[in-house]
Chain A
Amino acid sequence: MQAQVLQIRSITRIRRSQSLPVAGNVRVHLGQKVYTGDLLAEADLSSSQVTVDVTRALGLSSYEDAESLIERKVGEKLEEKDIIAETGGLFSKVIRTPAPGNIISIQKGVVQIETGVRHLTLEANYPGTVTEIRKNQKIYVEESGSLIQAVWGNGRVAAAPISNAGESHKSALSPNSFGIENRGTIVVGGLCVDEATLNQAAALPIGGLILGSMPARLIPAAEKQPYPLILTDGFGLMGMNELAFRLLSTNTGRETTINAVRMDLRNGIRPEVFIPLPVDAQPADEFSEFMVGQLVRENTYPHAGEIGVIVKISTASVLLPSGLRAVAAEVKFNQEKRIVPLANLDVISIESEVSAETK
């Protein structure tokens, strides 16, 4: 059975892409070094338009008559109150544009004007080197470093040094957990159980927050925060898995990128914490089969975040305590051995693969 792979790696190489919705102006070149937040590309998109039915507005009987009175051409720029059509004569009837913009079509006496343009910018979510640019729309960046994949994010991105505010991977942050030393940093903590703590972090302000877990009732509050917030393990009071906490703690003070993107399993997108390091590394496999001896993390209530080792994998489906049958593995956790359906396990990709000496 194929496994979901979760990377908690001290050294790996990442290749990440970002796209504009349309082709635009790319502001970087191949081989260029970029930092989180740098402008990669930009484009303009039509965002609003108005139509003016000249036939109706002038009370004409046919659109051919209307088109003969339209003084404008497709592509022409209209300023405030510019005339679109007029009948002429002593008591000339005049039709003016309801808003400034560009004429994008004139069809059957109807003039269509683009009145608003949305300027889109694409900013780097990761630091690294630009390795590919596709169709002036999609840009690939590669870099080596430590990577901690997570399960939930509030949609924001930032880069800042890491600081540690939690005593252990299971300790809860409180409003008093933050000090002046955390200002502008990406703070690591086990869990958070109240909105006041999230708000206090914003007031400081911090640069980002990496938590193991929080109650799901805090989702609306977390989504409102101005800083990126990531959960490595999910919803509940379980805190952070030890591996992620240890790796983050050993990187205190390092410049770190926190990409709290929404998880999209269809497209293989996960929220991530990335710490660039001056090494050359190989990328890790993104998929795996389940095997005995693998390090795995349970991903479901009430054991989400618990890490263990596969001792045995059943070849046929086994009876679970729920009464359901499923293909499962016997997993040795800290305190106990448990039968867990394979569907409830993520394989943790952890081993380092440094292929070259330090740069």
Chain B
Amino acid sequence: MTAAGMDAVSILAIDLGTANTRVHLFDVAEGQYRFIASGISQTTADAPYYDIGEGIYQALDRLQAITGRIFLDKDANIILPSQAGGEGVDRLVVTYSCGKTLNVATFGLLGDASLESVNRLASSVPGKVVDSFGINDKRTLDAKIEAILAAKLDLILFAGGSENGASRSVLNIADLISRTMQVMPAGDRPEVVYAGNQAVSQQVKDKLERFTAVHILPNVRPQIDREEVARAEVGVSKLVNQMQSRYINGLDRIGTICNALPEPSTSAAEKIIRFLSATNDPQKGVLAFDIGSRGSSAISGVGGKTHINLFPYGSGAGLDSFLKKVSPERIHPWLSRSIPLEDLRDALYQKTLSPNSIPANGEALDMELAVAKLILREMVREMRIKGTLTARGYDPILVSGSALTRAASPQQILLTLLDGIQPAGITTLILDKHSILQSLGAAGLVQPFLPIQVLESTAFTNLATVVSPVSESRTGKEVLSARLEYSSGKFMDVNVTQGSIITLPLKPGESAKLYLETQHRTRIEADGLTEEYYKVNGGILGVVIDARGRPLEMPGNEKQRDELVAGWMTALGG
């Protein structure tokens, strides 16, 4: 459908990150929605401004300078809707990842039913689930109460019982929560969301309301075999907005002029991943990584079912937390040049003191990329443990976050992603250079065709299609023969040896047929090569065959490592 058949409107999307505030302009060009431009500024939610307004104003000022369009009136208000002269925009949406990381506890009955559903509901909250309580929890009552008190909760999500199903167990949980509330200081009590059996919702409310605010939302598991998290998600989003408004000054103010409720960035991005995973190759999943300043996220989707994974560490304000998990000693082998460990450690801890600083020289950039690799590795490791990754692999993998996308060269970005994620099989790596994924999710609420049309445009950058064979062969032994056949009929043949990485040129926007033949003890896809050939899309670095092995480990000897990395960069054209 073209924009001519729609209610064609311009949309401004504001994304409030921990470090940066971005404003994205989407408008109709040649009958289709396109990403036009973005303005970026520092987020001013924290000291010394304590209000998001200044950051939004600065970002819009940049956007005005870039586009030559006027978005602000003389009183610095956003012009909504657009005027006859072209000033302003028609729709406004807001996403945010700044604010407080909320501490959440979930309560449900069975681990594979209501508790699972309420945990899924919790994944839409910008926070961390610090504990989960089900009826099969073996902890004593006192231990449970101690655990809840120690968790310093902001929010309790509580479900259980299908409609007109279990009620006694649900009320027992309400008693447990009530007992804990009694020993909490009044100002420290978390708000409670109840999204379970509606038949007992009033009783739950009666038990808890004298201690804290109780919000009754639709049952996330109305039948034992039917989950309906989405309806409760809307209510949770509203509540989270109210709670975050206490920490993000100005959010409620801008919320009043938005065309959709301000939404946590990850839940907005999740809508796009859900859509892509439902429409793409059903054999594979879609994966989106975002390394933020304070926190990071990975959204995985297979066949329209998604998992949001939030990680309380990042490359800026969250670096301190990351260094508590992964020491500089573990990061050191992933540098691409020799830097003494002592210098690396000092530089990383110095960065924790100035989290918004930018790598000014090559060494500093190298350290930032090494950290990004380890953050990705840690995210993948934690997702494996949680069981939120499919063994079938992912295509595409989208990445965002300035630590990844602002690197100086595409080769640096590619090696960071490959070393960090270590994908298997055939996958396309796509850069979200402007960090618009969450804005698309939010904009889709007011203009459903916009995300689809922008996704099909050049707003995202295809970095490369990567083939990652896994082989037990020794280094230097041939593991794969490949032929890339271009649409012109010309082709390129390569033999790939274990331990190498090579690139075959294929420009962005072009596609080609890739014929693959694996050698002894080598496999590519989880089920082996089932197709005669694979249709692959071009990217900045074309088609890359990464035969460096899985899991990829770096040599301890620094000289060997420097030579190895330099060789990889050269092979990739860097």
Q: A108 touching B175 by the CB < 8 A rule?
A: yes
Contact with A along B10-51 (1 / 0, CB 8 A): 000000000000000000000000000000011010111100
Question: Which stretch of A139-147, A166-174, A200-208, A264-272 is in the interface?
Answer: A264-272
Q: Is A252 an interface residue (CB 8 A)?
A: no
Q: A2-B54, A322-B362 are in contact. Are A265 and B47 (CB under 8 A)?
A: yes
Q: Is B357 an interface residue (CB 8 A)?
A: yes
Q: A2-B49, A49-B142, A322-B408 are in contact. Are A299 and B357 (CB under 8 A)?
A: yes
Taking residues whose C-beta sits less than 8 angstroms from the other chain, chain A's interface range is: 35 or more
Name the one of A4, A105, A286, A304 contacting B350, with C-beta atoms under 8 angstroms: A304
A89 CA to B359 CA, complexed, in Å:
81
A217 CA to B58 CA, complexed, in Å:
39
Q: B48 touching A286 by the CB < 8 A rule?
A: yes
Contacts of B185 on A, CB cut-off 8 Å? 21-22, 45-46
A140 CA to B346 CA, complexed, in Å:
36
Name the one of B47, B346, B408 contacting A267, with C-beta atoms under 8 angstroms: B47
Question: Which stretch of A77-85, A176-184, A340-348 is in the interface?
Answer: A340-348
A110 CA to B145 CA, complexed, in Å:
13
Contact with B along A28-58 (1 / 0, CB 8 A): 0000000000000000011011110100000
B187's closest neighbor in chain A, by CB? Answer: A22
Q: A299-B354, A341-B357 are in contact. Are A104 and B188 (CB under 8 A)?
A: no
Q: B364 touching A301 by the CB < 8 A rule?
A: yes
Contact with B along A259-303 (1 / 0, CB 8 A): 000010111110000000000000000110000000000011110
Contacts of B350 on A, CB cut-off 8 Å? 216, 234-236, 299-301, 304
Contacts of A343 on B, CB cut-off 8 Å? 354, 356-358
Q: Is A88 an interface residue (CB 8 A)?
A: no
Q: Is A209 an interface residue (CB 8 A)?
A: no
Q: Which of B211-251 contact A (CB under 8 A)?
A: none
A50 CA to B142 CA, complexed, in Å:
6
Contact with A along B341-365 (1 / 0, CB 8 A): 0110111111101111111111111
Question: Which stretch of B110-118, B176-184, B468-476, B561-569 is in the interface?
Answer: B176-184
Q: A267 touching B46 by the CB < 8 A rule?
A: yes
Contacts of A46 on B, CB cut-off 8 Å? 183-185
B19's closest neighbor in chain A, by CB? Answer: A343
Q: Is A320 an interface residue (CB 8 A)?
A: yes
Contact with B along A95-112 (1 / 0, CB 8 A): 000000000110110101
A151 CA to B519 CA, complexed, in Å:
57
Q: A22-B188, A344-B358 are in contact. Are A105 and B182 (CB under 8 A)?
A: yes
Q: A105-B182, A300-B351 are in contact. Are A321 and B361 (CB under 8 A)?
A: yes
Q: A321 touching B48 by the CB < 8 A rule?
A: no
Q: B360 touching A340 by the CB < 8 A rule?
A: yes
Q: Is A196 an interface residue (CB 8 A)?
A: no
Q: Is B317 an interface residue (CB 8 A)?
A: yes
Q: Is A114 an interface residue (CB 8 A)?
A: yes
Q: Is B381 an interface residue (CB 8 A)?
A: no
Q: Is B406 an interface residue (CB 8 A)?
A: yes
Contacts of A50 on B, CB cut-off 8 Å? 142
Q: A266 touching B362 by the CB < 8 A rule?
A: no
Contact with B along A308-352 (1 / 0, CB 8 A): 000000000000111110100000000000011101101000000
Q: B342 touching A104 by the CB < 8 A rule?
A: no
Q: Is A245 an interface residue (CB 8 A)?
A: no
Name the one of A4, A5, A217, A287 contacting B345, with C-beta atoms under 8 angstroms: A217
A80 CB to nearest B CB, Å: 18
Q: A51-B145, A112-B179, A287-B48 are in contact. Are A320 and B347 (CB under 8 A)?
A: no
A264 CB to nearest B CB, Å: 8
A120 CB to nearest B CB, Å: 11
A266's closest neighbor in chain B, by CB? Answer: B46
Q: A216 touching B317 by the CB < 8 A rule?
A: no
Q: B47 touching A266 by the CB < 8 A rule?
A: yes
Name the one of A105, A268, A346 contacting B47, with C-beta atoms under 8 angstroms: A268
Q: Is B141 an interface residue (CB 8 A)?
A: yes
Contacts of B355 on A, CB cut-off 8 Å? 265
Contacts of B42 on A, CB cut-off 8 Å? 1-2
A322 CA to B358 CA, complexed, in Å:
9
Q: A110 touching B46 by the CB < 8 A rule?
A: no
A320's closest neighbor in chain B, by CB? Answer: B360
Q: A235 touching B349 by the CB < 8 A rule?
A: yes
Q: Is A219 an interface residue (CB 8 A)?
A: yes
Q: A112 touching B360 by the CB < 8 A rule?
A: no
Q: A2-B54, A216-B346, A265-B46 are in contact. Are A104 and B182 (CB under 8 A)?
A: yes
Q: Is A253 an interface residue (CB 8 A)?
A: no
A53's closest neighbor in chain B, by CB? Answer: B141
Q: B359 touching A324 by the CB < 8 A rule?
A: yes
A110 CA to B172 CA, complexed, in Å:
12
Taking Cβ atoms with an 8 Å cutoff, the residues of A that contact B are 1-2, 4-5, 21-22, 45-46, 48-51, 53, 104-105, 107-108, 110, 112, 114, 151-152, 215-217, 219, 234-237, 263, 265-269, 286-287, 299-302, 304, 320-324, 326, 339-341, 343-344, 346
Other 11 A-B pairs with CB < 8 A, given A302-B343, A321-B362: A110-B179, A235-B345, A236-B346, A268-B48, A299-B350, A299-B354, A300-B347, A322-B358, A322-B408, A341-B357, A341-B360
Q: Provide a sorted-by-A list of 30 A–B residue pairs whose CB atoms are within 8 angstroms.
A: A1-B58, A2-B42, A46-B183, A49-B145, A50-B142, A51-B142, A51-B145, A110-B175, A215-B342, A219-B349, A234-B349, A235-B346, A236-B347, A265-B47, A267-B46, A267-B47, A286-B48, A299-B350, A299-B354, A300-B347, A300-B357, A301-B363, A302-B343, A321-B361, A322-B360, A322-B361, A322-B365, A322-B408, A341-B360, A346-B354
